[in-house]
A = this chain, B = another copy of it.
């Protein structure tokens, strides 16, 4: 399974929590891993802790030229411009993937910017933590998590297999393949909508005096309410068509529930609850 990486040079671009966790996992597996990140302190930390073999706080020409595999863990809006600026250095046959949480707004543009011999296979590791930076890198977050490959018609079968394999050796539980659009609709619901809900629970009123009274439900629903505003506002805006649609359907459902409540429609409320319980059973088995 791992023959695609023997003697391959891996270059990680963007060494934050995700880039660092990839680096950690791949180094642990014995690969030669280098990284580029604009923060020298991140590079220094990663070298000192054996997370990477070598790193650069600038787009080092030699490092880019020799890379057989590049993994982008940059904010989506920087990704395309970085590739545009450096692609003349890319090795023949280079394989690229990324960790971007939105796909259709990135994938086609990046693929169109690349030479024919360079293959970019989009993927999304559905893992994360509420903390940031390479100092918190932890490839343990991949265990039990989902890895989505989101190819387009431009991708080859070999490219697809390579990317699935990457997810597998990093320890992801389940590797799935979705189109970029299916991915974005799905992520708009299971991840982005849930973050909007957590944030709105925090902002809809000043609830901090309730700190002594919260139980498990409130804690669970707001665990993700500490949120990197720079990253998430970007992800939300890049996926806004899907997210707005999900928000509309969720708001309309809440309004319907509110109306039943105000009408005293007990049977209507119970029906909603029974449907919820029934659907939820699919998620807990």
Chain A interfacial positions (CB closer than 8 Å to B): 126-128, 145-146, 148, 174, 176, 186-187, 189-191, 193-208, 210-215, 217-230, 232-234, 236-237, 240, 243-244, 247-255, 257-258, 261-262, 264, 266, 269-277, 279-284
Q: A257 and B200: CB pair below 8 A? A: yes
B213:A126 contact, CB within 8 angstroms: yes
A227 touches B276 (CB 8 A): yes
Contact A232 B190 (CB under 8 A): no
Report whether over half of chain A's contact residues are helix, strand or loop; otherwise say mixed. helix
Residue from B148, B224, B276, B281 within 8 A of A198 (CB atoms) = B276
In the bound complex, do residue B275 and residue A261 qualify as a contact, i.e. CB atoms below 8 Å apart? no
On whether A224 and B232 interact (CB within 8 A), knowing A275-B203, A279-B208, the answer reads: no
Q: Name A279's contact: one of B195, B207, B213, B281 (CB within 8 Å).
A: B207
Could you say which of A250, A251, A254 has the most chain B C-beta atoms within 10 Å of its C-beta?
A: A254
Residue of B with least CB distance to A192? B217
Per the bound structure, the CA–CA distance linking A127 and B237 in Å amounts to 39
Q: Which residues of B contact A250 (CB under 8 A)?
A: 200-201, 204, 254
Q: Is A221's CB under 8 angstroms from B221's CB?
A: yes
A261 x B284 contact (CB < 8 A): no
Contacts of A280 in B (CB 8 A): 202, 222, 225-226
* Nearest-CB residue, chain B, relative to A223: B220
**Nearest CB of B to A38, in Å:** 21
Interchain CB contact under 8 A, B203 and A190:
no
17 more contacts with CB within 8 A, not counting A200-B250, A237-B261, are A186-B210, A191-B217, A194-B201, A197-B254, A199-B257, A201-B250, A203-B272, A204-B250, A204-B252, A217-B223, A220-B221, A233-B266, A233-B273, A234-B266, A247-B257, A247-B258, A251-B254
Q: Given A194-B217, A247-B258, decide whether A269 and B229 contact each other with a Cβ distance below 8 A.
A: yes
User: Known contacts being A220-B224, A261-B240, is A203 close to B251, with CB within 8 Å?
Assistant: no
CB distance from A32 to the nearest CB of B (A): 30
Contact status B282-A211, CB under 8 Å: yes
Bound Cα distance A190, B255 (Å): 19
Taking a contact as CB atoms under 8 Å apart, the answer to whether B284 and A226 are in contact is yes
